[in-house]
Structure 1
Amino acid sequence: MSKYKRYERYKDSGIEWIGEIPEHWEITKLKYICSESAVYGLNESAENYVEEGVRFIRTTDIDNKGNLDNSMGGVFLPEEKVKGYILKTGDLLVSRSGSLGTSLYFDEDKYGKCSYAGYLVKFRANSKNCPKFLFYFSKSNIFYIQIQLALVSSTISNFNGNKYANMILPLPSYYEQKAISNFLDQKTAEIDSLIADKEKLIELLQEKRQAIITEAVTKGLNPNVRMKDSGIEWIGEIPEHWNLRRIRYLANIRNVKASDSDIDKTYVGLENIESKTGKLLTNGDDEQQFVGETANIFKKGDVLFGKLRPYLAKCIIADFDGRCTSELLVLKTTSYILPKYLHFFMLSPKFIDVVNSSTYGAKMPRASWDFIGNLEIPLPSIKEQEDIVEYLTEFISRIDDLISDINTQIQKLKEYRQSLISEAVTGKIDVRDYVVSN
């Protein structure tokens, strides 16, 4: 924050976790600067939702930046049910359950006519204070510190609006609140734009990884090789010297149920497998599932493929003996195919798409081994499989390193964003003269 100047004079706030504040600022409580404080939302069950009406905002509809998430479309209530609970521009909503501290600055021009649910509480700034400043306070470190302090003598289940109302904050004049809000509006937008660009780059790298996998396992590594029509629409042309084999001749189902004696074996669920990457997100220290529920045994070198919601492309090679959910097919490869080659093929978008098109069950779509096992796939020699696996392993390692570096940059930007908000709303930096660009 060295690029921003400090105020000329400071005083001790008297509160350790706030520290010094500008000499002319005050310390107050949230409820004293609001015309409406900790007003609970409306309790309505899902059975009363309608197709059209007034948007009914729930905690789960708010993202971590304080925006209304419209990706799922939201839910609605009849207008007659929400009288007295209509939001106005500038209202601050804060969650008192689930993700404590989740907050939203409401803008009617942006979101339209809305009401809000009972696990949210509303604060409305009085005429002497800037509503957006209250929102940025709700995104600052001192806000989250007070949530944690309140939880020492409370629990999430009985965290109430009164605890928010009594939160302490440093308070400048309306003019300074407005200046700070304008500064943060612009700076957070700039940071968010940088983050979005980096997230888009990650998406492009992931698409590149999937495209390279598909190209390698269906076309090989030699761009000048003679090609032939595979006769299979979703595969297209393949190298002339490759064969077609059904998967059931290349791999066998290992259908061994876990017993009580297997309780010490590491358990792998679908949630432990990262989509599209072939990465395992668990280790031996993770919480284990008891054998009471159906689980299958797998051996080191087996290929595990998620048959539930196959579009998620959850597939790994086991590097240890263990047990897994019955929603994973456990495949033991034959001598005709390398486990790693089959693993790469099952991660390719072409394979995932054709398997996904075969699923049954609307709510919990699954693919069957009968369908998968009967699929014909292009098969090079073992030597060529080894070359393809070596190439893809090295290529994917470089892509993953790039993605890891970009994720680190994103995390640093998020930390900087958080720090900038906290420094501005506590007066650690003076932004009164900052010129907001159009």
Structure 2
Amino acid sequence: MKKYSDYKNSSVPWIGEIPTTWNLSQLRYVIECLDGKRVPVELSLRADMQGNIPYWGAGNIVDYVDKALFDEELVLLGEDGAPFFDHTRPVAFHITEPIWANNHIHVLRIKENADPKYIVYVLNAVDYKEYINGAILNKLTQSAMNRIKIPLPPLSVQKKISKHLDKKVAAINALLTQKESLVTLLQEKRTTTINNAVTRGIKTTAKMYESSVEWLGEVPENWRIVPAKALFAQSKETRHETDVQLTASQKYGIISQEDYMEKQSYKIVLADKGLENWKHVEPNDFIISLRSFQGGLEISYIPGCITWHYIVLRPKAGVEPEYFKWLFKSPRYIQALQRTANFIRDGQDLRFSNFVQVPLPLIPMDEQKEIAEYLNKETARIDSIIADITEQIEKLKEYRQSVISEVVTGKVAVE
């Protein structure tokens, strides 16, 4: 790792020492801010101006429109809502195509003393702690942006750095793309594995018959199709005096509100009124929550009480809860559940009347257990591989950031 011959102190903690031939500059001296030319357009109005011109928001393209506000080489820098404190994600972007920009991203024309690509690299290495007004959604005001201190080598060196980093970063990004594609394939395999097991079983030699139920299709000949209410009853049992308050979460499942607060690291106010209407929950009950339209039904492994807005389903004879845990979270079942309503929106209230419209398979208990055990093992295996690759992805992103930081601050010499 080659270094420059001599260094001097920049007095900026994130930069450290810089080569003696480099300058330290405030951003204001290398940019012309074009924020006054930005025009935000509401989503409803953009519906009438759809096209192929990128419409930029805080840190990404949020839409495409039919005309451009800017058509020149520019640098975009997040103003509010950008990931300023996550150095694995960019906040600055090099633009060479026509764009429209709203008022959530700074639009910068780079002066002749700086290379636009270099400025993007250095802005993605800045420590933004002293420049961000955290009281307003991590907002980088124009005045704070102008004060950002950056290392500024001679223009010829900036261009060499940009060319060097383009090559290095492209190689890392190619590897990241491969690994991210592999994660996507594994996630698809996981989904297919669940769908197939809960609707077709795991016995490859089983004879099949047409169930005449759209979401199930062909099923093993020893399976029967029955109304959902033949397997589950709606429980209206009210809260017990000793019940803890439960939360239905797509992320954590059914857990106590105390545990939920601890996991989320924030406090919520526990209900103290109307508790007499809350519903008692037993282990192996299933909960229909406001989010069941998106993520299916949740199984409870603990007793407690849940808000009266939710539906509690109690298994009847012939139900192995661990099998139905997988079935009720399978994409094919969720899609069938969605089709029971006239419209779907975030937080739509799903009722027992929707649940009973989706027929369910009645399967021998031992087979239900075999399917559940298979899915527990197979999904755990796939999840472990995904976790390993995800960790590799995060390390690659951190490595990419360290490569950029070391070069733009002069710790590594570029010839």
Give TM class, smaller chain. 0.7 to 0.9
Q: Distance in 1 between matches of 2:412 and 2:113?
A: 22
> In structure 1, which of residues 39, 42, 47 is the aligned counterpart of residue 38 of structure 2?
42
- Are 1:268 and 2:248 counterparts? yes
> In structure 1, which of residues 199, 205, 209 is the aligned counterpart of residue 180 of structure 2?
199
Gaps of 5+ in 2: 85-89
Q: 121-130 or 44-53: which moved more?
A: 44-53
- Overall identity of the aligned pairs, in %: 26
- Are 1:217 and 2:217 counterparts? no
- Secondary structure in structure 2 of the residue aligned to 1:337: coil
Aligned counterpart, 1:118 = 103
- Secondary structure in structure 2 of the residue aligned to 1:150: coil
Shift of 1:411: 0.8
Shift of 1:213: 1.7
Q: Distance in 2 between matches of 1:184 and 1:295?
A: 59
Q: Distance in 2 between matches of 1:214 and 1:48?
A: 40
Q: 2:284 touches 2:300 (CA, 8 Å); kept in 1?
A: yes
Aligned counterpart, 2:225 = 244
Deviations 1:225-247 (A, max 9, x none): 23333232432222222222222
- Are 1:31 and 2:28 counterparts? yes
Deviations 1:315-357 (A, max 9, x none): 3322333555677543221221011111111222322222222
Q: 1:90 touches 1:105 (CA, 8 Å); kept in 2?
A: no
Aligned counterpart, 1:226 = 207
Alpha carbons of 1:430 and 1:256: their partners in 2 closer, same or farther (altered >3 Å)?
farther
Q: Distance in 2 between matches of 1:272 and 1:240?
A: 36
Gaps of 5+ in 1: 80-85, 275-279, 433-438
Aligned counterpart, 2:151 = 170
Q: Distance in 1 between matches of 2:34 and 2:240?
A: 53
Aligned counterpart, 2:319 = 337
Q: 1:242 touches 1:380 (CA, 8 Å); kept in 2?
A: yes
Q: Distance in 2 between matches of 1:103 and 1:212?
A: 38
Q: 1:89 touches 1:106 (CA, 8 Å); kept in 2?
A: no
- Are 1:139 and 2:120 counterparts? no
The residue type paired with residue 178 of structure 2 is: D
- Are 1:52 and 2:49 counterparts? yes
The residue type paired with residue 117 of structure 2 is: K
The residue type paired with residue 382 of structure 1 is: M
The residue type paired with residue 126 of structure 1 is: K
- Secondary structure in structure 1 of the residue aligned to 2:131: helix
Q: Give the number of aligned pairs.
A: 398
Q: 2:240 touches 2:280 (CA, 8 Å); kept in 1?
A: no
The residue type paired with residue 182 of structure 1 is: K
Q: CA RMSD, aligned part only?
A: 3.4
Q: Distance in 1 between matches of 2:139 and 2:303?
A: 44
Deviations 1:364-393 (A, max 9, x none): 556543232243222221112111111111
- Secondary structure in structure 1 of the residue aligned to 2:332: helix
Aligned counterpart, 2:87 = none
Q: Distance in 2 between matches of 1:305 and 1:196?
A: 37
Alpha carbons of 1:163 and 1:250: their partners in 2 closer, same or farther (altered >3 Å)?
same
Alpha carbons of 1:212 and 1:103: their partners in 2 closer, same or farther (altered >3 Å)?
closer
Q: Distance in 2 between matches of 1:153 and 1:75?
A: 31
- Are 1:429 and 2:409 counterparts? no
Q: Distance in 1 between matches of 2:308 and 2:56?
A: 34
Q: Distance in 1 between matches of 2:286 and 2:240?
A: 21
Q: Distance in 1 between matches of 2:39 and 2:393?
A: 37
Q: 264-273 or 354-363: which moved more?
A: 264-273
Q: 2:78 touches 2:104 (CA, 8 Å); kept in 1?
A: yes
The residue type paired with residue 3 of structure 2 is: R
Q: Distance in 2 between matches of 1:7 and 1:370?
A: 73
- Are 1:304 and 2:287 counterparts? yes
- Secondary structure in structure 2 of the residue aligned to 1:347: coil
Shift of 1:107: 2.6
> In structure 2, which of residues 153, 166, 170 is the aligned counterpart of residue 185 of structure 1?
166
The residue type paired with residue 254 of structure 1 is: S
Q: Distance in 1 between matches of 2:14 and 2:91?
A: 21
Deviations 1:59-114 (A, max 9, x none): 34x34xxxx35xxx3457x87xxxxxx334332222332336463435343xx3x3
- TM-score when scaled to structure 1? 0.79
